[in-house]
Chains A and B, each alone.
Chain A
Amino acid sequence: MNELKQTSIIDRPICLLLGALGGQGGGVLIDWLVDAAKRAGYPAQATSTPGVAQRTGATTYYFELFPEKNPAGSPIFTFFPASGDLDLMIAMEPTEAGRAIERGFVTDCTTVISATERVYSTAEKVSAGDGRIDVAPIIEAIDKASKELIQLDMAELSAGTAARGNAIAFGAVIGSGILPLTADECRASIAAKGVAVESNLAGFDIGLKAAQDGTKPGKQGTDTLYNAAPDAFISAIAEFPAAPRGIIGHGIARLIDYQNDAYARTYLERLKPIAAADSDESKKLTGEVARHLARWMSFEDVIRVAQLKTRPNRLARIRDELKVDASTPLVVTDYFKPGRDEMLSVVPKAFSWLVPNLKNGMAVHMKTGSAFGYAMLKFMAALKPLRARSAQNSEEQAAIEQWLSAVIQAAASDNYLACQTANLAIMARGYGRVRKTGLEKLKALFSTWENRLASDHAGLAAEVDQLILLANSNPDAG
């Protein structure tokens, strides 16, 4: 039994707000609470506004319980959470707790129980760049704004069980000790509801323990892990400033995987003039170019895609995703639709006129989990040596050279502009039409680069900023 800080006269109901997304089981959680309160003999009322929540919309549930059994009168319950009058806020997603603060419901008398895992909103997803809002300052704000913050890492807590988030949250509500309900009363409610009783009881106990222990989820590792370059490259890397060496090593490893050692040497040769032109102490420019250059030089042509789709552990990883063992028959279908440009990646430039101009590409649904499909891909991947002479490769390499020379020209007078120019490489991204459009824009920009750098420096800088902004945020991009 949880201890209640009971005053002689109870002057208000305990108020609880639940913020969830449609489909997270918020309604069931509230049903359990209502039933447990009735079971225990406390007057209580719940309400909700499911409305058109569907699967993605934010929705709220509200619950009030008068913490005295058989009180002398009928307590007045109402429908809306109110500022300074909310004891418990449960958020099935951290920004939903943030939303409750935004709406004025969370104050210093509110305990917040929040799931830690983000469910990204459409607005965050449709950005062409990284549209995710930074959740750390929001968690910090919840912590500061509330009386106490209990965080639930649902994935970690439920690992190895079939427990669902709403049952874990229910356990945490009782574990927080704010409601006068006992764990047994709640378990009885779960059993009476009759839905997935076993896993919900397990989830309840997990949440109960998590809230009682007050354990905070461990800090997520945010350190970037770089792959190391082979020893043969160590001395060459050492010629570069210390700051970007990690990313350069990673780039070398990537390009050896992509093509061969010689290709990785080309990468270093291309980087040297950049490092020489990088006058800033932070060596940010060198690092940015090292990153973009390695990514661009390992552009995803059909050979590369075939290589990536035949990574040795790919099928095992897919089995994990489906949670099936190695003996279960598995069918994997890949959706390929190479257009003319993609086919050019394996055709020497001199013969590119032979490749037909298919308007919509050639649709292939390939069974890549079968030995035959896999072998086909392996064969494609083995065409790596053809890449050097392919039409697509020569176009991409020319574009890379053009971009690098633009960066160097800019670096001579304006390190910031050079860094921004380095970032323009994100426009060389994606496949098909997306990639083509980006490359065409870059080509147009760089064709008058030198002149404009001299005559219209400010205008050019503004245009570069604008292009990066658009590439990262334009919801209609691609």
Chain B
Amino acid sequence: MDGGTALARVTNSGERSFTKEIQKLTLGAGEEFHGEGILAVTKALLQSGVSYVGGYPGAPMSHLIDVLAEASDEILEPMGITYEQSASEAGAASLLSASIHYPMRGAVTWKSVVGTNVASDALSNLASTGVTGGSLIILGDDYGEGSSIMQERTYTFAMKSAIPLIDPRYDMARMVELTEHCFGISEASNMPVFLNMRIRACHLTGSFTAKDNKIAEFNANNPIPEQKYDVTKIVLPPASYQHEVAKFEERLPAAVNYAKEHSINELFAGNSTNEKVGIITQGGTYTVVLRALRRLGAADAFGNSDISIYCMNMVYPLVNHEVIQFMSGKDSVLIVEEGNPNFIETQIAEIAHTNQIKCRVHGKDMLPMAGEYVSNVVREGVAQYLAEEGTPEVSKRALDLNADIVAKTKEAQSYLPGPMPPRPPSFCTGCPERPVMTALKLLMKERGKFHISMDIGCNLFGSLPPFNVGNTVLGYGLSLASSGAIGPALDQPNVAVMGDGGFWHNGFTSGVVNTQWNKYDAVLVILDNGYAAATGQHKVPSTGATPRGIESLLSIESALKGIGVKWIKHVDSYSLENTIDVLREAMDARGEGLRVVLSNNECMLARQRREKPAKAAALKAGQRVIHEKFGVDEEVCTGDHSCMRLSGCPSLTLKQSADPLKETPVANVDETCVACGNCGEVAHAAQLCPSFYKAEAVQNAGAFRQFASSINRSLLAMMGAK
């Protein structure tokens, strides 16, 4: 069954096109690149002569792998670049193994910190062995506003594995330059290098002057003459002990030397009247610090600051010599360090202490311990610093200006009557995962609440209103594995929900194999919508093709059967009653091991991207097209909104009732409805009300249909219908 739908998707793929982006990646020396941050980094990779690129998609760096996937003819093949969208971040990190022995540059990318967690096994081994060719790991850091993951720091990974960490200043030309330097640092230190890109930096727009792309000496078109064997590159004793020593005695010092020689970190000198104070910041927060200084009267719009700034584009390891130089002669410094724990601040305090520098180190005492360092937050911290440590003039100006901003903000806020309604993310209109959540909620009404382990991906929105049906989430592909100890402890079988992305990422091995081997009693619902949809419709092994368009289909069902899972049932999730019946059956089949319910309706966004233009074209060409949507008969709706508590569809919304007898607004299906039919199914399954109807208009109907319709209309008119 999944083969059929999947292959149809492949033949219909190509609804998104990156032609413009690919053109930008092939710009030559002297031409101006104008575009997004993550694309600029991609261009820097090509200018650095990479032999291979890999990654696992996720916000905010998906663009990098998406664009390259489509650039086979223009970029990958002529340059001999090996490319893969790996099956997981661990797979992507493992690609870097190519640079251990061989002088080949390579780059991999994923969403951090979640992806770095998954990749850590490979990364630790790689960092121990060390590399010969420049190895770059581009981390799309999803921290702060809009983030969908736990809030942690990448810095910890850098420290524990001794991997240099670049946090570039977000000026596009500088960012590209620093990306190129990453390979230099890597080759000088024999260590892989992290390049940390914040979410807003990946999406920023800007320009830089391009260089020619560089074809690597060794690549798929020009292979390395022979394989290399060196037992000291294997992580086994005694080599592993030597690796540890080398990391701290040779490799990190080499990275520091490279940074010094190439001015990776930057000193922006202030004026002499303020030489007793200074600010140390990460490259990524530099512009935020400058904005704060400007707002507080200590800098202009072009970055000329009264206060000296030491901008660390390499945040690990620290260049002690430069830090000492910056602190010498100063009474105090402020460390603006986003994230926690405050590793940079503690290291700097230790440097001051060890070198007996009499310079007070401020940081988290003036800035918040946790959370994104947005403009307002940094301004408050810098204002406090200038007030306490600045010259009387600077201090007063900062205090006055800050107080003025705060007063105006408070006044504006005081006019608001109350809090605004929250808007958590939810399923798109017509999403095939919505009915599954409805089914689970209705099943709970029937048999009492049971435990549901959710997974990473769109399915997780089922934990939010109006469904509220997810109890826990532990990681990508881990829903089934995470319910191992819960099932035996509760009186109802527990249900694990997982997307197809999660299944292939980790769910099959850690979840299904584990459950099958341990003979657990569990229910697994797999939402096979054809894509890793939450990241922006990325292909997965069961989509039917690789991102490069090569036909390749792995079947979820075959994988399950291959390890002996016997209870497998398919549901069409839009048919709600059937879904409920099958789920009920799965719950009741205790003692039959793992029961898998597979729903494989395609992601509605993907479907609409394909069908909408096709329908419009057909309509224009005079072909028969059915235009359909659902609706609500306002007079029939009693306004208790039960339907919304079981649907949450964005197109199912409220409307002021024209009837003065009704005290509540009635339901209304707006024009964004895609006619998936869930609202009608819900009303049916839960026996809610007869308000919903489905309307289909047959456009460009044939002569017979037209004739039949005109007879129908005459008959209706006879019965009084207009």
A contacts, CB < 8 Å to B: 10-13, 21-23, 34, 38, 44-60, 62, 66, 71-85, 95-96, 98-99, 101-102, 104, 106-108, 119-134, 137-138, 140-142, 144-146, 224-226, 247, 250-251, 254, 291, 294-295, 298, 300, 305, 308-316, 318-319, 321-322, 324, 326-337, 339, 360-361, 363, 368-371, 374-375, 378, 426, 429-434, 472, 475-478
Contacts and interface: CB of A to CB of B under 8 A. Distances in A.
A52 B415 contact: no
Contacts of B417: 134, 137-138, 141
A51 B142 contact: yes
Nearest to A438: B640
B705 A329 contact: yes
A108 B408 contact: yes
Nearest to B639: A429
Interface stretch (B230-238, B421-429, B557-565): B421-429
Nearest to B673: A321
Which 10 pairs of residues, A with B, have the shortest CB-CB distance? A51-B146, A49-B146, A371-B715, A82-B375, A478-B642, A73-B302, A329-B709, A432-B687, A145-B412, A141-B415
Nearest to B171: A74
A247 B660 contact: yes
A292 to B, nearest CB: 8
B419 interface: yes
Interface string B394-431: 00000000001110110111011111111111111100
A74 B303 contact: yes
A82 B633 contact: no
Given A50-B146, A51-B59, A431-B690, A79 B204 contact: yes
Contacts of A370: 712
Given A431-B689, A477-B645, A328 B199 contact: no
Contact of A52 (B148, B636, B687): B148
B692 interface: yes
A47 B203 contact: yes
A10 B301 contact: yes
Nearest to A79: B200
A132 B665 contact: yes
Interface stretch (B121-129, B285-293, B355-363): B285-293
B633 A328 contact: no
Given A123-B422, A329-B712, A333-B695, 16 more contacts: A10-B301, A52-B146, A56-B424, A57-B426, A80-B376, A122-B648, A133-B421, A134-B417, A145-B412, A145-B416, A312-B722, A328-B701, A329-B698, A337-B690, A433-B686, A433-B687
With most chain A CB atoms within 10 A of its CB, the pick from B300, B534, B706 is: B300
A328 B200 CA distance: 49
B181 interface: no
Interface string B670-708: 011000000011011011111011111111010001101
A329 B712 CA distance: 9
Contacts of A133: 418, 420-421
A476 B645 contact: yes
B713 interface: yes
Given A122-B424, A122-B466, A313-B722, A45 B205 contact: yes
Contacts, number: 388
B716 interface: yes
Nearest to A472: B664
A225 B204 CA distance: 52
A230 to B, nearest CB: 18
Contacts of B635: 308, 311
B147 interface: yes
Interface stretch (B210-218, B487-495, B499-507, B650-658): B650-658
A293 to B, nearest CB: 9
B688 A478 contact: yes
B638 interface: yes
A337 B687 contact: yes
B336 to A, nearest CB: 13
With most chain B CB atoms within 10 A of its CB, the pick from A46, A314, A321, A324 is: A321
Given A99-B420, A101-B415, A107-B409, A335 B693 contact: yes
Given A74-B303, A101-B415, A123-B421, A328 B699 contact: yes
A76 B425 CA distance: 33
A82 B379 contact: yes
B421 A95 contact: yes
A336 B409 contact: no
A66 B206 CA distance: 13
B641 interface: yes
Contact of B663 (A318, A375, A426): A426
A55 B59 contact: no
A132 B654 contact: yes
Contacts of A124: 421, 654
